[in-house]
Structure 1
Amino acid sequence: MLAQQRQTAILDLVRRHGGVRVSDLVREFSVSDMTIRRDLENLAQRGLLAKVHGGATTLAPGSTDEPGFAAKSVRQQAEKEAIARRAASLVSPGTAIALSAGTTTWTLAHQLLDVPGLTVVTNSVPVAEVFYHNGRVDQTVVLTGGIRTPSDALVGPFAVTAIRSLNLDQLFLGVHGINERSGFTTPNLMEAETDQALVAAARRLVVLADHTKWETVGISTIARLDEADVVVSDAGLPASARAALDGLVGQLLIAGEENDGAAR
């Protein structure tokens, strides 16, 4: 197992159990104590967990905590890939779509490189780079201007003004958290305003969110749950979350499961 794969697995264990012991990780991965300690040091330096005596624990993010793009890109990679594949099936050739900033939408961008005649509007520098490096001449990419956030989103009045003049078929929105009362949220106030403009510009709202986003709350609400036409999540989404979303969103799709939620 490569170091990056092992560290991703360690981070998943920390998130699922709230904490891990070095001794348990040594047995789990059949490596030395020193190797595990280096892994934990690496993850702690990237702001992904907190080192404690003999192990590591999860960080306790507040409503304004905003991890950087690199930090978020190593979280729930398998789930994001599954969500992206499912979401890509909703995109038709020759349509105009928007991809908000985020690592899940960035993963989706890779799945859309072969869709012909696509026009993509995004406020994400990494998403725009995916299409730019692909170099497909029948795809048009529009990158909004704005102020760059830690998650590599372009936000603020320049971005909002550009977006408000557009009419889009679908918006694929990545979010920081989902909560019944607070809706779809972000930890960045300016990003919320930009995302709200994207929601208003699109005829259809598709939210992409892995199971860890449930009951996470950012400081600012982007949209209510009942404003989403579709929510795409993964098999780790708990039954209580599925029941709540089924009653509020237009359609709940679970990546990797044959029985997707029916539209209401």
Structure 2
Amino acid sequence: MDLGSARTRAWTAGHGAVLDVPTVTHPDRNTGPGPALAPGPGDAPGAGPARRGGRPVHRGAVVDEAGCAHVLRGLLAHRLPRTARPLVVLTTPALASPAHRAAARSAVEVLRPRNVLTVPAARAVAVAARADLSRPLLVVDIGAHLTEVVLLDDGAVADARRVGLGTGDLGVAAPEDIVDAVTRMMTATIRQDGASLMPGALARGVLLAGGGALRPEITYRLAARLHAPLDVVPAPHTAAVRGAARLLEAARLHPSTRGHDAPGTRSG
């Protein structure tokens, strides 16, 4: 399951396909007036305020647990047997706080899960791409309202950067603003890494996912700016949930399903 600011996506073993709905509690009121959310950490200047009304996830963070539960109930409740106690693998931003993960798990309780495992979205993207996780890997995930640059080492998050900017901000922001933000985050990661993991990761190429990977005005500019190959994941907008589906299949037989994090992840 991928609970995003703009779209909520899920995969179920019985359905065998990606289910996809807007992350909106009241679609008919989505464009109406409502209280604006103050910019949060990492929000890009000029991206414009987000409205709380009808939008239970704001730039990757759950701001309305009941609203998220409403979305999940509408998406999945009728697809699950009444007696089912599903195992759920939920993707979260790499820098998600413990409070965010707890809020997301609380929202999923509407499905009466047997357990809820959280996994960084970047790892799920890498799994969907069938990338070799034994070597350092750089993942760029450009979503609707959040962009992340994540360095994976042995499949776990070694470094991560985020900015509250994405394709949903285009019109207020320009494609070049997203490219600039990604470039700045990559530069900061290189400096922070101290030339330990980044040379190997850059030699492999940057793995690009999210809806932004479908926008030529972003991908062409990004390819021109990066000093590394750019590898777009197939169906990049659904990569996180497809990776979560593969992790779900592995988790069913894994002892760590008694905990709250999927196999191979690090909490924090």
Provide TM-score, normalisation by structure 1.
Answer: 0.31
Larger radius of gyration: 1
Provide TM-score, normalisation by structure 2.
Answer: 0.31
